[in-house]
Structure 1
Amino acid sequence: MNMRAVVLQHGALSLADVSVPKPGAGEVLVRTLATGICGSDLHTVSHGEKLLASARAVAGIEIFDPAERIVLGHEICAEIVEYGPDCRKIHAIGTRVVSAPFIIRPTPVTLGFGTLETPGGLGQYMVLSEALLIPVPDHVSNDLATLAEPLAVAVHAVNRGAVAGDAVPIVIGCGPIGLAIIAVLKSRGIGPIVAADFSNARREMARTLGADVVVDPRETSPYDAWREVAAVSEPERIARQTPMFPGHAFRPCVVFECVGAPGMIQRILAGAPPCSKVVVVGLCMEEDRFQPTYAIMKEIDLAFCIAFSIEEFIEAFTQIASGKLDVRPLITSQIGLKDVPDAFTRLANPENDIKIIVHPQDA
C-alpha cells in the first residue's frame, strides 16, 4: 500500500509515492490530518548540512542522512487507523490525536527526521508511539491542534526565562515562535509586553496575540520603549541593582531573542537593561560573535533553549484545548501536499504568511 508524501533528498523537496509505514511494538499507524510547517523545517531544507554538522559536533549524532529520502513535519494532528503489536488500545480507531514529535524505540526517532519507515507529517500516514498520544477534543480543529508543538517551544522558552509576574518582557522577532511566546506571556498575566519586528504584518499579529507595545526597530528602539513602560517608583518593584548602574529604577527585564541571525546576541547585549535575562530561542545557523564585556558589566544572564519537555507539550495542548491560549490567528494559510515546495518559498517572506498548515489528504 502506497501513500503520497513530500520527500526531502539532497536538499530538494518533491512529491512522491512511497510505502505506508508499518507500526512496530507499542506503536500506532495514523492518517495525517494536518501538519504545520515549522521554521526548523525551513532550516533543514536551506541549511541542512550546517544543521547536521552542528548536531554531529555538539552531540555526536547524525540527525538524518541527506542522501536518504526523509519526510519532514512534526507539528501534527492525526487519526488512529491501526494498532501495532503490544499496544494497550486505550483510544478507539478513528480517534484524533496529537503527539510530541518522538517515537519511543531503543534508538529514539525524532519525528520529521526519520527515514521512510518513520515519516513525518508531510506524508499521508505516520507511525506514532501509543504512550505519547493525546486525544483531541471534538471542539478543537485539526489545524488548531497542530499548534501544540510550537506553543510547547514557547512554553519552554518562557520557563527558561523564569519570568516573574512583575517582569516586563521584550520579544525581539515576531515569527511564529516569537508570536507564540507573546501568547504564552499574555496567558500568564505577564506584561506589559514589548515586541519588535521589521515586518508590518508580524507587528500587527503581535498586537493581536497580546503585545502591549509594538515597535519597528528601524524607527524606535525596543529598549527605549521598554524604559517608558518599565519605570517604577516603588522600591519593592525595582529590579536587582549593581554598583555600575546605580539608581536604575526599572522593573525586571527578560529579553527573548527569536530571530536567529548573526549579530543579534551582541545587539541585544548592547541594548538590554542591566541585570536583564536574555533567552536565545532563535536558531542561528552561522558562526556568531559577541563581546562578553557587555554582558559582564551589565551582569546579564544569558540562556539558550531548544524544544521542550513532554510535560510542557501537554501543558501547551491543554491550554489550547481549554481556550486559555487562543492562537488561531497564527494560522494564515491551508494547502495540500502538492503546494508544499512553493510554501517553503513563500515563508521566506515574512509579509506573506505566519503559519501554513498542510492537509496531507489533499494530495
Structure 2
Amino acid sequence: MVCHKGSLEVREVEVPEPGPGHVLIKVLRAGICGSDLHARVHGDVVADIGEKVGYDHFMRPSQAVVMGHEFVGEVVSYGPKCRKRWRPGTAVVAMPIIRHDGEVEMVGLSERAPGAYSEYLLVQEDLTMPVPEGLDADLAALTEPLAVAHHAVRRSDVGRRDVAVVVGCGPIGLAVVLMLKAAGVKTVIASDLSDLRRGLARQCGADVVVDPAVDSPWDAVPAQEKHFTRAGDLFSVAFDAMHALQAVPGVPWWALMNVADKLSLTPRGPVVFECVGVPGMIDDLVTHAPFRSRVVVVGVCMQPDVFQPAMASNKEVDLRFVFGYDPAEFRNTLHLIARGKVRPQPLLTGTVGLGGTASAFEALGSAQSHAKVLIDPSSDVVEV
C-alpha cells in the first residue's frame, strides 16, 4: 500500500533484500497509527520539523512511501552479519527504526525504509524481539502504540495515589489508560466527546468517564482528592499550615514544612495526559487544570499553537512533552501484554486487507466508529 500525494493505492513492488544486520519478515498484522493519518496530509510540516532536529528523510507528499510502523511478523530470512537468533516462522515484533548504509531511518515514515503496509518488511535484528508463545498476533501488533503510552506514563512520574486525567480517548489515550491502571494508579479519569471512545475507556479500566460537552473532568475528581482551582484556596492552605506548624513545640515550623514537601503532602494538582493533539488543547489545559498540575503532552499537534505562559507560571503548571520509547520499554510492553497485565482487546475495532487501507483511513478520521484498525496483508476485506 503506497502513499503518494495523499492517495493510497496497492502496487506491486520487489520483495526487499535484507542488508547487513537486517531480517526479512512476513507481515502478519500492521496497525494504523494516528501519526500515519497526520503524515498522509501533513508530511511536509513534519519533514520540516524533522530536518530541524537532524532527521532529513521524513516522508513528503511528493514521494511514494509504504507506511506502517506498528507490526508483528514472521522471520523469513537474514542478511549478512546477523546472529540468526530465530528460526524462520518465528513470530517477532521490532522497533520501527533501521540502519541503511550507516544512517538511521524511520520504518514506514521514510521513502528509504518501507513499512508494514505490505506483505514483507525489513527490520533491524538488534531491535527485533520474539513474541512470547501463545500471544495472539492482533495483540502483539499493539506493542508499539502501547510502548508509546508506557513511556508517557513513566515520563509523567505519576504515583499510585495521584489522580490521572486522560484528555482524549483515541487509541493513544486508551493506551495511556491501560498503562496507568497497569502501573497501579487508583484514580483515572477519562474525557472524550465520543460515546464510543468513552465506552472503550471504561473497558480499558478508567474509573470515571466524562463527556466534556456536559461535565468538566476537573469536577469529576473524587471529593477526597479535590485540587485547588482558585489562588485564594491555595493561599489559605499556607495560612492554615503556618498557624498549625508554629504551634508544635520544640520543632521549627520550616523543618516540618520541608518534611511535608518531601513526603508529597503539600498541595498539588492531577497528572494530566493530553492525547488529542489539536491547536488550543495545551492552552485549554493550562487555563482550566487545577493549580500545580503536571501536563504530559502525548498528542502530536501538527499546526503551530499558542498558550499563555503567564497563566502556566501563576498556576505552577508543569509541561512535559514525550516522544517514542526506549528498547527496554518496548520489550516490557510486549511482555505486559503477554502476561495479561495489560489487556488491550477493547482497542481492536476492525481488520482489513491491504485493499481496505484507504477506507480504514477514512473511517479513522471520525471518532464515531473505530479506535484501532489492523491491516492483515493476507485478507481480502476492503471495508471496516
Q: TM-score, normalised by structure 2?
A: 0.87
Q: Alignment identity in percent? A: 42
Q: Secondary structure at the match of 1:166?
A: coil
In the alignment, structure 1 residue 284 sits paired with structure 2 residue 301: yes
Matching of residues 211-250 of structure 1 within 5 Å? 211-226=206-221, 228=223, 230-231=225-226, 245-247=235-237
How many Å apart are 1:57 and its aligned residue?
A: 3.4
Correspondent of 1:130 among 119, 125, 128: 125
Indicate the residue corresponding to 1:358 in structure 2.
375
- Cα distance in 2 between the residues matched to 1:11 and 1:245: 53
Listed one character per residue, the Cα deviations across residues 325-352 of structure 1 (whole Å, up to 9, x for unaligned) are 0111110101100000011000011111
Q: Which amino acid aligns with 2:67?
A: L
Contact 1:168 1:251 in 2 (8 A): no
Match of 1:3 in 2: none
- 1:181-192 pair list within 5 angstroms: 181-192=176-187
Q: Supply the distance in 1 between the matched residues of 2:333 and 2:79 (Cα, whole angstroms).
A: 28
Deviation of 1:245 after TM superposition, in Å, equals 4.0
1:207-236 alpha-carbon deviations (Å, 9 max, x no partner)? 11010011000110001112535239xxxx
Alpha-carbon shift at residue 262 of structure 1 (Å): 0.8
Give, in whole Å, the separation in 2 of the partners of 1:45 and 1:338. 17
Following the alignment from structure 1 to structure 2, what is the Cα–Cα distance between the partners of residues 173 and 247? 32
The one-letter code sitting in structure 2 at the alignment partner of 1:71 is V
Give the TM-score normalised by structure 1.
0.92
Q: Which residue of 2 aligns with 1:32?
A: 27
How far did residue 84 of structure 1 move? 1.0
The number of residue pairs the alignment matches comes to: 350
Q: Distance in 1 between matches of 2:136 and 2:115?
A: 20
Question: Residue 11 of structure 1 contacts residue 45 of structure 1 at CA under 8 Å; is this kept in 2?
Answer: yes
CA distance 1:224–1:311, shift in 2 (3 Å)? same
Contact kept in structure 2, 1:27 and 1:83, CA below 8 Å: yes
2:204 corresponds to which of 203, 209, 220:
209
Is it true that 1:101 corresponds to 2:96 in the alignment?
A: yes
**Aligned twin of 2:271:** 254
SS at structure 2 position matched to 1:224:
coil
Q: Which ranges of structure 2 fall in alignment gaps of 5 or more residues?
A: 239-265
Looking at structure 1, the residues matched to 57 and 140 of structure 2 have their Cα atoms a distance apart, in angstroms, of 29
C-alpha distance 333-281 of structure 1, shift in aligned 2 (>3 A): same
- The equivalent residue for 1:83 is 78
RMSD of aligned alpha carbons = 2.0
1:221 match: secondary structure: coil
Check whether the contact 2:68–2:107 (CA below 8 A) recurs between aligned residues. yes
Larger Rg: 2
In the alignment, the residues of structure 1 paired with residue 340 and residue 361 of structure 2 have an alpha-carbon distance, to the nearest angstrom, of 30
